[in-house]
Amino acid sequence: MGELDRKYITEEQGPEKYSVSKFIRYQMVEDRSVAEQTHEIINLEHALVDAEMKLPKKFLVMSIVDKFPKSWENFGMALKYLKGRLSPDDLMIAISIEEEHGNQTHKMPVVHWIKLCHNKKAKTGQAVVNMVVGGSSDGSTSRATEGLSLEGR
């Protein structure tokens, strides 16, 4: 191999390594649209395809979900547990819908839990239900406690 061949082979490998590194290190931020950032990641994947390093679609989708900002953590977890395969196009649609409905700030309740607690003061055969009305990505919740008769349970 000649000096000239070595030079061009080295120059071709540089952008490939840069593309891989940029894809792996990319992390989404809170103050930008998740849809825009997802589009940027997909463009990085196209650069990898051009360098003959095609990623499996499932790997690409899960990589994008793992790069979501902290406020999108619950949405990402929900996507991970979906049955069936999620294509990059399906992911973009889901993200667009989520952003369109204003849930990127997650001010609306995102998780609902119901916890049954026995109350020592309640009559025999009754229990008090503590219901978590909503949960947010910062861990705060609002609680409503109602004395409900659960006789026969």
The phi, psi pair for 113, rounded to 5°, reads: -125, 145
Which pLDDT value is given to residue 65?
96
How much is the pLDDT for 113? Answer: 45
Q: Where are the alpha helices (DSSP H) in the chain?
A: 3-25, 34-50, 57-66, 73-80, 88-100
Per-residue tens of pLDDT for the chain, all 153 residues: 566 565 555 555 666 778 899 999 999 999 999 999 999 999 999 999 998 999 999 999 999 999 999 999 999 999 988 877 889 999 999 999 999 887 545 554 444 444 445 555 555 554 444 444 444 445 544 444 344 334 443
Per-residue model confidence (pLDDT) at position 122:
52
Handedness of CA 53, 65, 21, 12 (dihedral sign): positive
Residue 32: predicted pLDDT: 94
Q: Is 129:103 a contact under the CB 8 Å cutoff?
A: no
Identify whether the C-beta of residue 60 lies closer than 8 Å to the C-beta of residue 44. Answer: no
- Size of the chain, expressed as the number of residues it contains: 153
CA atoms within 13 A on the CB side of 65: 21
Distance CA 131, CA 144 (A): 6
| pLDDT at res. 64 | 97
The ranges assigned to domains in the chain are 3-105, 113-148
The amino acid present at 17, given as its one-letter code, is K
| pLDDT, position 16 | 74
